[in-house]
Amino acid sequence: MKASPFKVRNACPDDTGLILQMIREFADFEQLLDQVVTDEKTLKHNLFTDPKGPEVLIAEENNQPVGFVLFFHNFSTFLGKKGINIENLYVRSEYRGKGYGELILKEICELAKKRNCGRVEWCVLDWNERAINFYKKIGAVPMTDFTLFRLTEESINRLIVKT
């Protein structure tokens, strides 16, 4: 039986440059490249020093990186279980439409099941209809009853000083 040319593997510290490159590609696709301010040193420290911190999986075809997923655990008080929150799921443009996004999500779902997680969640930009249609096709449900709020580092500092 022939081995599949596709695999998903855990990222390691040596992958930091590749991860940063794909983060920049992802941000460029989302028209948010100007918001990427991290560097390799910061990324490496924050991805690989805390065992409870974020995790990265690298998707490869014939040992060539086709995409990545960066995720971390959250917790549902209603379910009383951990969940997985996907921060970024990215497939490089030349590999899109070939099923890699679904394979990456299957890997995340297998991990969620293995870790007894109650759900997997992520955000998608409203204009990204291709992704929205894909997510709906695989059974994901948009959470239209919620609005995502964010405090930036600047806002956090202002709030701390204010109190």
Enumerate the active-site residues.
135
Token code pair at residue 150: 């964010």
Residue where the block lists tokens 């202002």: 158
User: Among candidates 42, 41, 24, which has minimal Cα distance to 33?
Assistant: 24
**How far apart (Å, rounded) are the C-alpha atoms in residues 36 and 88?**
13
Helix/strand/coil (H, E, C) string of 17-84? HHHHHHHHHHHHHCCCHHHCCCCHHHHHHHHHCCCCCCEEEEEEECCEEEEEEEEEEEEECCCCEEEE
